[in-house]
Amino acid sequence: MLSLRQSNPDDRDWTMGPAPLEATLFGRFAVRLNGQPVEQLLPRPAQALFAYLLLNPGLHHRREQLAGRLWPDSSEAPARKNLRNAVWQLRKVLGEGYLLADKETIAFNAATPTLVDVARLTDDGALADLDALLEAVSAYTGELLPGFYADWVQLERERLRALFERRMQALLEGLAGLERWPEVKTWAEHWIALGHVPEPAFRFLMTACAAQGDLAGMATAYRRCVQALTQELSVPPSAETRALYQRLSRVEPPAMTLAPGPRAGGHSQPASSPRPRPLPVQPTALVGREQELSEITRRLGEARLLTLVGPGGAGKTRLALEAARALSAAPLFPDGAAFVALAGLTASEQIVPAIAQAVGFSFYSAQSPRAQLVDYLRPRQMLLVLDNYEHLLDADGVGLTAELLASAPRLRLLVTSRARLNLEGEQIFRVGGLALPESAPAAEAASPPEALWATAAAYSAVQLFVNSARRAAPGFRLTAEDLPAVLRLCQLVQGLPLGIVLAAAWLEMLTPAEIAREIEQSLSFLEADLSDLPERQRSLCGVFDASWRLLTEPERQALTRLAVFQGGFTREAAQRVAGAAPRTLLSLIHKSWLQPEAGGRARLHELVRQYVIERQPAGPEAWEECRGRHAAYFAESLHRLSPRLRDQHLPAVFALVAADVSDIAAAWYWLVERGQVEAAVYQMLPALYRYCEAHYQGFWLQPLLTAAQQAVRRAAELPDRRRSLAILLTAQAAFLRAGAPVRITVLETAAPAYEAELREAWELAGQAERLMALSCWGPLLASIYGWLIDDAEAMRQLRRLLPLLRGEDSAERRWEQAFALQSLGRLIYMRLPDDHPARRLAEAAEHLQAALALFQELGDERETAYTLRLIGIVHLIQQRLPEAASCLQAAQARMEATGDWSNSAAVDWLLADIDLRQGRYDDAFGHLRCIARRFVERGHLRNGTAALSRESYEALRYGTIAHALQVREQTLAQAREAGDEHGLAWFTWEMGEIQRVAGDRLEARRWYDEARALFERTQDQSGRIFYHRGLGDLAFAQGDYAEAQRQFQASLEVTRRAPHEWGAAYALAGLSRAALALGQTEAARVSVLEALRKAHKTGDGGVLLVAVMRAAELLAGLGQAAAAAELAALVQGHPLAWRETRMQADALLAGADPRALAFLHTAHRRDLWVTAERLWQALSAPLN
């Protein structure tokens, strides 16, 4: 054991004695036998074989598989000869006993006293406590088998690196939870020293330094992180790292950012969701407004909807921001405050994604985005600032606000708008100009400077002018001569902060008196020309006009063109679209016409933008030309980004797209309206589709696609009209209506959201030659059509497409070939036939492996990871668990590197399957809790609760009833909190299951009946399958076998209307048991035969063992005691057997004739799946 008092990676206190054989695979390959190094005596092929066997101790590998894996470039005969030579070399060096080899298989003898560093890292008990974690991470001294380059080594290397990083993360969380900061720093540095730029390690290092009061060290750690990420990966730090740096820079308690460490035997709960994004940082201090700020914060303690109403430029946004900043850490808002900028939105349906982005929520499920957001905000006790609402006051916009207030009782809204929302309960706070005297003093009434400033300082309007003046002219000093003019110009702009700031920006060129005269001159014209406008609005227009006249001609031209941008823009975009030189941009920022933003970007204040657009001094033709350059720039930019959306820097590239989504949409619509659909379809859509698929943002893309489709249908003379329409329809059909991508979220029974569009696309291009003409869209169309409508026809066309693609050797065609292979492989394993499924699975694996090789060659990290995941699923169906785990963990490591967190969480779900199949129940529960935590942290409460729900029902099967009950109660509470009726129905049914297994039949029936009412309300057909199943189990337990038969039959009937193979398998197993109890042995045989077939097809070992147990009971009833006992022993010893099924096996074995138990010590080793197939054959003939 390691000493826990002072842990250090370079000071290890081993207390275990030496083993006769020691092997090191991390950092180097080394083997010591009885203390002496022997690895040099082994040739490289023997080293590779020995390493492979050590990585899979106790597993018996077929010789042909080993030969093919270790010598993939050799034909079978030479490869098997190489294998024999390697085995001979190993035995020659190591002696007998370490290898178990016969004519068919080879294995490493796990019973020999051996110490392998990999085993310490992978030990199942590594998460038990900090001692175990320290032991585990100490084993990892570098990458696996450096110098070995085989494909299997790469996969194992990535799997073990990912495992090390998870162990190290858990260790640092535990040490930080105990505030053992020196050790946190030591182990974080150890992790960093091992390479791969582990960003979490830098975050722990920053936190530890800050906790020890070393802010300089914290800043140094952050700089090191930035430098490492830039040099190694060419990406910036993640939002999480940047936010942590900002928080620690304000010296906030570090414990707020860390989860508690592991607890032996405990069941940790998922972390609470993070606070919203940091509020926008303002470059200047707020001047005045103390009274208003105090009143707003006071009224927010009472009102749930407070609207700041006032003219543009009055400072409503700044006032709301300061109020939010003051309240963000208040007890009233434990979930913080979020700021939502609405000025750049053009329609009320864009409000939902804007709010989601501000609160840190990303859409995931197939539910509507609005419902997902409402569910997320429902339990939150936070302040939501909705800024610039005035142009979104239609029924949908105001209706969303009303729904948020009704659904989230602890949510409070602070709205800024030029008009009230007119909602019940709305309180109005009117925002006017800053404080001013009623009249300006005469210049001759001079006072000493101190007295002069004391008088002027009482007025916040003057304070703002002076502060702004010193930014424009650092040497500015308010004098007695200037004061009357300053007060006059403040009065002319009605004290509006925007007007004062714009006026003060001219002090570099004009005196205060000259500025005031310019404004007065503008106002005299406005009195006549704009007499219908409110006085305050005329005042601001006067400032704009005066300031506009003082701009240089290049500045006016640049500003006119810059108004085309909907949001912020980069220096390159300003140069390309508006012809604005960097010097001009800087000048416009200094003169307050532009607002600087992070990352070297800038934007126009929305009021300024509207003013410039209304003027359009260059005329409509010039404005149209500018819009054309704007559209061309973003079309070209997206086209350039497309290749980069396939490399390892996806998060950074996606961030570039996200920053410009409003301008991208504007460019798309302009191109479509002008008939330039080809630019939208062929330059913009590939990158946009990739972005929306990765971020579940299909709902944002759909209006763009609809507009383009309408344009194509109108343009009869459009070149490639048929092809363009097929692409647009394919892109639309690739998403569910709520925005989730079909390719990633599709279920076997899913219905297409855009079926008419999908069928039309297939009619236009559903032949191999036409699919090829669609480029990357062809395989996508075939895959979606196959998954949702006709798999046989889609697979036929994909098989015809592949030779065509192979005939053209370009990078793009190779990518399309890989995509087609991936789609075909997935379709095959998703549609396995009842006969010869193994053959089809092998074909699926072959296609997926070929796709993987191509994606790796092309450097597409995201598709490489996704294909590895699909290969892992195939291995899982084939029961090749080590290979499945290796592929899935390698996939997960790549997904984490590319920021694909949702697919990474899906991999955890599959890894939990593997752990369950191997009896590692606690590890499986750990994976499920990890999923729950990740989803909840990102605002997906429903998905996080679904993972907890699985933990509960798996705990009922493989853990304790207390564990299952505790987690189930938590899921019920979360479902009620989120208003998730669908989840509530299922969790209620699962509570009935817990009560039934615990033996409380009355309570179980009560929960079942409550669940049925919820299933009926949500129109969930699958729920009825399980409702009748539960009543069938209850009736059988009460000895009412006829009622049990009726209920199981009712369950089976529902599966025929709403296909559900798993539910059908269980119902058939229940029918077999009930029929046997009623003496209907032939009916029992027929039911169990079909149960075995369907259970085998599901790939679920748990339900297959239920069917095997029913077969054992049937055989026992037929007098075949030995065969029945052997099957029961298989069930009893299998890791996937549920608690109930094991108890039934125990009961059968307890009543068996001792003579029938003679060979049961080997029964549990039998292969479940082979046994099921043989049972199926044995029971196929009718009983005599």
pTM for the full model? 0.64
Residues 416 and 298 in one domain: yes
Residues 826 and 763 in one domain: yes
Beta strand pairing status for 412-417 and 427-430?
unpaired
User: CA angle 1171-1175-1179, nearest 5°?
Assistant: 180
Q: Which residues of the chain have pLDDT under 50?
A: 1-18, 251-274, 440-449, 525-537, 746-749, 1158-1161, 1164
Taking alpha carbons only, the member of 305, 389, 388, 238 closest to residue 938 is: 238
Taking alpha carbons only, the member of 936, 869, 948, 937 closest to residue 903 is: 869
Task: Specify the CATH number for the domain of residue 409.
Answer: 3.40.50.300
Domain contains 672: no
Taking alpha carbons only, the member of 915, 905, 841 closest to residue 877 is: 841
Taking alpha carbons only, the member of 424, 542, 565, 556 closest to residue 494 is: 542
Taking alpha carbons only, the member of 251, 252, 225, 249 closest to residue 236 is: 225
Cβ neighbours around 612 below 10 Å, total = 21
Distances (CA, A) of 562 to 119, 499, 565, 605, 620: 62, 20, 6, 11, 15
Domain contains 405: yes
Domain contains 379: yes
The pLDDT value recorded for residue 520 is 74
**Final residue of a structural domain among 549, 573, 591:** 549
Residues 399 and 508 in one domain: no
Q: Which two tokens stand for residue 411?
A: 């949510």
Distances (CA, A) of 779 to 727, 746, 784: 11, 16, 9
Please, which residues bridge with residue 36 across strands?
33
The pLDDT value recorded for residue 493 is 75
Q: Which two tokens stand for residue 446?
A: 């001079």
Taking alpha carbons only, the member of 266, 388, 260 closest to residue 317 is: 388
Residues 302 and 391 in one domain: yes
Cβ neighbors of 648 (< 8 A, separation 6 or more) are 233, 859, 861, 897, 898
The pLDDT value recorded for residue 281 is 66
Domain contains 652: no
223: helix, strand or coil: helix
Residues 423 and 488 in one domain: no
Cα gap 983→1054, rounded to integer Å = 20
Are 734 and 705 in contact by the 8 Å Cβ rule? The answer is no
Residues 398 and 512 in one domain: no
Residue in the structure block whose two tokens are 């239609």: 394
Are 537 and 312 in contact by the 8 Å Cβ rule? The answer is yes
The pLDDT value recorded for residue 267 is 35
Residues 319 and 408 in one domain: yes
Residues 415 and 312 in one domain: yes
Cβ neighbors of 894 (< 8 A, separation 6 or more) are 158, 861, 862, 864, 865, 868
Cβ neighbors of 505 (< 8 A, separation 6 or more) are 468, 472, 547, 590, 591, 592
Distances (CA, A) of 1153 to 421, 1119, 1123, 1148, 1158: 81, 11, 12, 10, 10
Q: Which two tokens stand for residue 512?
A: 């205060």
Domain contains 1106: yes
The pLDDT value recorded for residue 841 is 87
Domain contains 266: no
Domain contains 851: yes
Cβ neighbors of 713 (< 8 A, separation 6 or more) are 725
Residue 35, Ramachandran bin (φ over 0: left; ψ between -120 and 50: alpha; else beta): left
- When divided into structural domains, the chain yields a total of 4
The pLDDT value recorded for residue 577 is 93
Q: Which two tokens stand for residue 105?
A: 């298989």
Cα gap 458→460, rounded to integer Å = 6
Domain contains 1174: yes
The pLDDT value recorded for residue 438 is 59
Exposure string for 212-237, b = 16+ CB within 10 A, e = fewer: bebeebbbebbeebbebbeeebebbb
Cβ neighbours around 1183 below 10 Å, total = 11
- Written in H, E and C, the secondary structure of 64-86 is HHHHHHHCCCCCHHHHHHHHHHH
Are 411 and 384 in contact by the 8 Å Cβ rule? The answer is yes
**Final residue of a structural domain among 523, 549, 575:** 549
**Final residue of a structural domain among 859, 888, 914:** 859
Structural domain span for residue 423: 290-430
Residues 401 and 493 in one domain: no
Cα gap 1043→117, rounded to integer Å = 58
User: CA angle 281-285-289, nearest 5°?
Assistant: 115
56, with CB counted inside 10 A (0-12, 13-18, 19+), is middle
Residues 401 and 518 in one domain: no
Residues 295 and 426 in one domain: yes
The pLDDT value recorded for residue 1079 is 93
Residues 295 and 420 in one domain: yes
Distances (CA, A) of 303 to 48, 264, 383, 428: 71, 46, 11, 10
Where in 564-624 does DSSP place strands (E)? 594-596, 602-604
